[in-house]
Chains A and B, each alone.
Chain A
Amino acid sequence: MSDVDDALARAHTQEWARVVATLARGFRDLDLAEEMAAEAFASAVQHWPVDGVPPNSGAWLTTTARRKAIDRIRREARRGEKHREALMLTDTPAPLGVIDDDRLRLVFTCCHPALAMEARVALTLRMVGGLTVPEIARAFLVQETAMARRITRAKAKIAAAGIPYRVPSREDLPNRVTGVLAVLFLVFNEGYLSSDPEHEAVRADLTAEAIRLTRLVHELLPDDGEVAGLLALMLMTEARRTARVSAAGELVTLDEQDRGAWDRALVAEGHALVRARLASGRRPGRYQVLAAISAVHTDAREARDTDWSQVVALYDQLAALDPSPVVRLNRAIAVAELDGPEVALALVDPLPLDEYHAFHATRADLLRRLGRSAQACAAYDRAIELAGNRAERAYLVRRRGQLAGA
């Protein structure tokens, strides 16, 4: 890659959201902001190889995009308020301190609860992440035209319904941040949990994108513990990604993973975030507890060194925040390591999770450890039937094959 290509790629990663956000605030028009940002980057692709990379590429892009927006408004001879505002903006460039705020506004607008979840995800990836519509469509296995429609419809609702372009008020903030984190976590999981081999590369891009966006939100809201918690959780999960699927395309469970293959830098960064939260002394929310659980797991040199009593204690804390059956299932898995499979099975059996593959996979494993092979086999059958992805199914089929008398 040439230096100019490199500068272009870096500018896109670092400046896209800033350019869109600054324009969106100036012109009160997301559509215009998105289009003109895209044109400014296209213009950079044309000019930078010839004229050289400008010393402040972000300012160059913002100025170019703004100039194009004003030209567009003039060309369309849209008089009235917008026209005046646009002309005013050329005289008074935004002070630098406000710009970070703009990106935060953009995030909250794209993740507004009045939009459908899938629209929030698509809009955030497009407006904040700078992914193209075809890229987003491919990542979510949706037709390009359908994805374009989804984004257009969301932008139209923002404009028509008056979804504001601002950081929510103090009393709304925790709720709205939770909404933003839900979007980011969904993007991450979409990349992480799927193992469709044909889309694997695109999916890995999604986890990277989710981490990048969460880093941005963490940078903008450094004191929010849940943002830090989600970032830590993503980093420690991402660290184990390559160890999670074998060369044969089979899922490798935590206890069988090659811990030497974990990305130590990501683990260390996750641990540092968790430690900082613990030091704050504030009561942790859901993502912080999940991150703490992940930290205990990644702290153990070998699976057998895992501090299971700590894991169970953290799951107790999580169950107090979120008493869902899935949390209780995960708690029971930790209990099995601490108090044995029989105690755990008694906790698992009554859970109302008959349609959830992990419920049956957990039961199968506990029954296997108790030597109840016939029942374990039936549970593996059901888990295999419900498992959504190929790597997981391959793993379950192998485990079923290892049962005595199978």
Chain B
Amino acid sequence: MAQYLISVLNDSTTFATGDESAAIDEFNDSLIAGGHWVFAGGLGFPDTATVIDARSGEAVLTDGPFIESKEFLAGFWIIEAADLDVALQLASRGSAACNRRVEVRPFLRP
């Protein structure tokens, strides 16, 4: 089993609609039922982000996202899957459910 991050790419300025939320809930239930669920969540808009840099000892805070881009991370799933084919199938269903493009990336294996 491997773990994959499914990132939801958003380029609109609206949160999920009622229909999208319902489809996402249904998809989440199927992830749990299939034993694929690890964690998932939706994120606030990028303008609610704060960047922290404490590399020099003292934390320096900056308002806003660390990269400005038209496309941003709107949410994610972390799933458990036997291989990439399974992960891609789940991600396709996730993309259809949330009505957005998604990206699949493997976690490094321990």
Contacts and interface: CB of A to CB of B under 8 A. Distances in A.
A pairs with B? yes
A162 B87 CA distance: 9
A163 interface: yes
B106 A168 contact: no
A161 interface: yes
A172 interface: yes
Interface in B1-16: 2
B38 interface: no
Nearest to A169: B85
A160 interface: yes
A29 to B, nearest CB: 14
A114 B2 contact: no
A164 interface: yes
Contacts of A162: 2, 81, 83-84, 87, 106
B88 interface: yes
B79 to A, nearest CB: 12
A112, A160, A162: most-surrounded residue (chain B CB, <10 A): A162
A164 B87 CA distance: 11
A273 B25 CA distance: 50
Contacts of A172: 85
Contacts of B106: 160-162
A138 to B, nearest CB: 32
22 contacts: A112-B84, A114-B84, A114-B88, A160-B106, A161-B84, A161-B104, A161-B105, A161-B106, A162-B2, A162-B81, A162-B83, A162-B84, A162-B87, A162-B106, A163-B83, A163-B84, A163-B85, A164-B83, A164-B84, A164-B85, A168-B85, A172-B85
Nearest to A165: B83
A160 B107 CA distance: 8
Nearest to A163: B84
Please report whether the interface of chain A is mostly helix, strand, loop or mixed according to DSSP: loop
Nearest to A108: B85
Contacts of A114: 84, 88
Given A162-B81, A172-B85, 11 more contacts: A112-B84, A114-B84, A161-B104, A161-B105, A161-B106, A162-B2, A162-B84, A163-B84, A163-B85, A164-B82, A164-B85
Nearest to B83: A164
A172 B2 CA distance: 21
Interface in B89-106: 104-106
Interface in A79-115: 112, 114
Interface in A172-186: 172
Contacts of A160: 106, 108
Contacts of B83: 162-164
A159 B59 CA distance: 38
Q: Which of A161, A168, A172 is the most central at the interface, judged by chain B CB atoms within 10 Å of its CB?
A: A161
Nearest to B108: A160
List 5 A-B pairs, minimum CB-CB distance, nearest first.
A164-B83, A162-B83, A162-B84, A161-B106, A162-B2
A163 B87 CA distance: 10
B7 to A, nearest CB: 14
Contacts of B82: 164
Interface in A108-144: 112, 114
A175 to B, nearest CB: 11
A371 B84 CA distance: 60
A141 to B, nearest CB: 31
B106 to A, nearest CB: 5
A112 B88 CA distance: 12
Interface string B13-49: 0000000000000000000000000000000000000
Nearest to B85: A164
Nearest to A112: B84
A298 B82 CA distance: 49
Nearest to A114: B84
Contacts of B105: 161
Contacts of B108: 160
Contacts of B87: 162
Which of B84, B104, B106: most chain A Cβ within 10 A? B84
B84 to A, nearest CB: 5
Nearest to B2: A162
Kindly name the residue among B81, B87, B106 whose own CB sees the greatest number of chain A CB atoms within 10 A.
B106
Nearest to A176: B85
Specify which of B84, B85, B87 lies most central, judged by the most chain A CB atoms within 10 Å of its CB: B85
Nearest to B89: A172
A162 B91 CA distance: 15
B105 to A, nearest CB: 8
